[in-house]
Structures are given as C-alpha cells and as structure tokens.
Amino acid sequence: MRAWASAAVLLAALAAPTYAQEVRPLLEIRGEDFLIDGRPTYEGVSYRGHRIEGLLFNSRMVQGIFDDENPETRALWAYPDTGAWDPERNTDEFVAAMPAWREHGVLAFTINLQGGGHIYRKPFPYDQYINSACDPQGGLKPAYMARLERILDRAAELRMAVIVGLAYFGMDYRYLDSPDAIRRMADEFVDWLAERNYRHVVIEIANEATRIRSRGGDVGALELMERIRARSRAAYGDGFTLLCSTSLGGGGMHDDAHLRAMDFILVHGNGCGAERHREMIAQIHANPVFAAAPKPIVFNEAHTDVSCLCACAEEHASWGYFDQGTSNYRDGYQTPPVQWGINTEPKRRFFELLRAITSGEDPEWADAPPALRDFEGLPAGPVTGRIVVSLPLDDRWGIGRVEFFIDGEPVNTERRYPYYLGGDTDGRPHGFDASKLAPGEHTLRAVAYSVSGATSEIETTFVVGAEG
C-alpha cells in the first residue's frame, strides 16, 4: 500500500503544472522606459526625430474575461448569431485576436477583474449587472481566473505586457463586502500570479480612483500598492516585485503622494485633445517629485482620436486606445458582445497608424497637407431642418482636427473620424440645425489640419429655404 501511495504522489506531482519552470517574459522599468527581457520596447525606433524606444503603446480591452451573473441583465450581451451570451466564446475570440494587435505594434492592453462600463443607463442595467472575478468576500472565482490565464499565457507567448486592473468603480462598492475582502482579493491575486510565474503583468489598483470601495468601507491605493509589493516579494521568492499604479478620470492629475508611490504614472485622456495630452505630460515633467525620480507616463485610456497618439509619441508618453462601441458585435471594444478584431474604420485608423509609427519608417504622411474631397450629405436644393454633412478625408492617420465655418463664423471642431459638421457621438451624427440660419445663400468652409500643422481647406455654398 505504501509503494502504491508513493507512486500516486509521484504521478500527481508529475501531472501538476510546473509554472516556475516555464520561461516567462520579464517586464521591467528603467527610468522612463519599459523593457521586456532586458531590452527596450521598440528598440532603436524613432518617430519624427523623437525616440519611442521604451514606450508601451496599448489598448483598453477590459472585457476579456467578462461575464454577468445576473439573469436579468445577462441577456443584454447576447451574440446576434446565437441569441445567448457566452463568456468562453468571448475569451476565445479575444485570444485569437491578440496576434493581430501585436503585429500592428500594440505591446500592452488593459484588462480588469471587474471589467468596465458598457451600457451606462441607470439603474438598469448599470447598477444591476454582476461582473467580478472575485466573490463578495474577496476570493477569486475559478472560471474567471481560468479565462484570464488563457489570456496571460497568450500574452506571454507574444511577448506582450498586460495591465490588470483589480477593481472598477461601477462594480466594487456595490459588490465587495468589506475592506478585508478587498485585501483578500489583492493577496489572492498576487499569489495566483506568483504561482504561475507571470512577470509580464503590472497592476492598476483601481480604474479612475485612488481607492477600492466596498459596502463596508474603502482601502486606499497607497496601502494596496505597498501590500502588493511586499506580498509579491514573498510569493515569488527571488526578489521580483510587481509594478503598481492607479488611474484617474480623463484629464485628472495625481497628487505628490501618489506620484511618489506609483512605479509608473497612469493617466487617462478621455475628453482631452492632443494639446491637453501635451499639457498633462508637461505638468508631470515639471513636478519636483517626477524630476527627482522619473518614471514612465502611460495613458491607458483615452478615446479614438489618433492625433493624441502622435502627440504622445512625440512627448515620450505611452498612449492607450479606448473605443466604447455599442452592443452590436461590431463597434468598439468595451460593450459586450465585443468583436475583438480590427474590423471598423476607427479601429483600423489606430492600429494602422501605430504600425506606421512603430515601423521606424519616415512618416512623410505626417507633414503632407490633408487630401480633401467634396462635402458629403449636403443637398443640392434648399435645405431646412437638421442636415447631416460630413467631410470625407482620404488621409486616415495624420489628421489633427477639422474646423467647420458657416459664413466665416466657427461652428464646430472635430478631432476624430468621422468629421461631421454637427458633431457626433461614437460615430452617430447629431446633425446641424439649418433652421438657425436665415433663409438664403450661405458659405460652408472646412479647414483640415494635419498632426504637423499643415492645412487644406474646402468651401462651397448652400441655400437655406424658408420654413413652412
């Protein structure tokens, strides 16, 4: 019996995963640069004379392990071809898309244990869906973690870094029981990473917050960063320490205590144009805390305005694409069911521009004046009411902004494709209310600016008819 027992133990040991023996990529920081396996990212590459070596261009892909345990809201995320939601299919398609992201120059993506905002209608479904990789007491859920393991393993094979967020501000406070549950979640996640020897993962404590909330109280990011570092040093056993940060809302700037504590500076660019991105970077550089200990600046959430990618590349800051989308299995990367491919014009603009930037080739397109075509949607005869007019541009990458004027007066400035006279929300045009204009002939002019400041313009006339 003893021999049989010994044999069983040996077989079990041989069958158990040997994560520590697997070769995992190592993500490090030296000064303001990221390195993978001891070599700077984008090694030797520059863009318009600016060094991009050491940057970590990324995309927000937080729903890679998404599920919804509330049957009242789960049906909202159904795939159009099956009529049902399937979290395993979601992760399978995520993993299948990753090589294409990598081929285009994306070296990192953000994923979150509690996902992110998808449909913001309150109270239903925003305050009622249940998506969390941990239970209310902070214990990790096996099904979620198995999906995350598939993603992290594929990222390791592709030599990609992963920014893993622990909490989302729309989920934590209504789901986690207590501060101790928050601490348990952090501890168990560190142990889980260490068991698998993941060294290409960095931690975002909370999305757009300096604390994780629970029903019974909060735990600050400063405490959690120190806790995670100490726990990781013990768990990995060889001195390896997980890198930590936390983020703020679009345009928000960290105080000195958080700047000092973070291993890399996470900021968000939602609602911010290219110039505001530059201002944020300059403000961080001017802070004495940063001057004393420079570290990487990473935008891991912004929007689809790729002129900000160009601006960050010139300022040695990493930029992250964020495409909200809608629940249509086509647009965006955040509202399930997500189509994880590079399948829409905004997605192609980002990925193809990033490939051009990271290729090291001379970007002649950046200095060329934008190529314009005629306005689209402007009726030939008199117009009344709301009209949808756009300016199509052949240049998909190098557009900084498009300014619209009527009779010489500014009407609207568009900073991202598509460029509509009346503006848009996620590609859905608002239309321009022509009834605000007096009947008769008017002049419509558009001026398109490249990222380098070169301009092209186009002008036409149209007639507003009398109403009634």
Residue 79's CB is within 10 A of a number of other CB atoms, namely: 15
What is residue 425's predicted lDDT score, i.e. its pLDDT?
78
167: left (phi over 0), alpha (psi -120 to 50) or beta: beta
- What distance in Å separates the CA atoms of residue 278 and residue 316, rounded to the nearest whole number? 10
Q: Looking at residues 249-266, what average pLDDT do you find? A: 98
**Which domain covers residue 436, as residue numbers?**
366-464
What is the β-pairing status of strands 58-60 and 108-112?
parallel
- What distance in Å separates the CA atoms of residue 398 and residue 393, rounded to the nearest whole number? 10
| DSSP 8-state symbol, 465 | P
Name the pLDDT band for 426 (thresholds 50, 70, 90): low
Percent helix / strand / coil, the chain, rounded to 5: 30, 25, 45
Question: Is 107 in the same domain as 232?
Answer: yes
Q: Looking at residues 305-312, what average pLDDT do you find? A: 90
The last residue of one of the domains, among 358, 383, 398, is 358
| The pLDDT of residue 2 is above 50 | no
What is residue 348's predicted lDDT score, i.e. its pLDDT?
93
The verdict on residue 4 lying in a domain is: no
| The pLDDT of residue 9 is above 60 | no
Question: Is 393 in the same domain as 245?
Answer: no
- Which residue in the block uniquely carries the two structure tokens 């010489």? 408
Name the pLDDT band for 61 (thresholds 50, 70, 90): very high
What is residue 454's predicted lDDT score, i.e. its pLDDT?
86
- What distance in Å separates the CA atoms of residue 186 and residue 140, rounded to the nearest whole number? 10
What is residue 12's predicted lDDT score, i.e. its pLDDT?
40
pLDDT (tens digit, 9 = 90+) per residue, 95-106?
Answer: 999 999 999 999
Question: Is 337 in the same domain as 379?
Answer: no
The last residue of one of the domains, among 328, 358, 388, is 358
Question: Is 305 in the same domain as 450?
Answer: no
Q: Looking at residues 46-58, what average pLDDT do you find? A: 95
What is residue 15's predicted lDDT score, i.e. its pLDDT?
45
Question: Is 270 in the same domain as 373?
Answer: no
Name the pLDDT band for 362 (thresholds 50, 70, 90): low
Could you give the percent of the chain with pLDDT greater than 90? 81
The verdict on residue 112 lying in a domain is: yes
Q: The domain spanning residue 449 has which CATH number?
A: 2.60.40.10
Question: SS3 for 188?
Answer: helix
Question: Is 382 in the same domain as 426?
Answer: yes
Which stretch of 1-10, 242-251, 272-281, 415-424 has the lowest confidence by average pLDDT? 1-10
How many domains does the chain divide into? Answer: 2
The verdict on residue 300 lying in a domain is: yes
The verdict on residue 267 lying in a domain is: yes
What is residue 70's predicted lDDT score, i.e. its pLDDT?
97
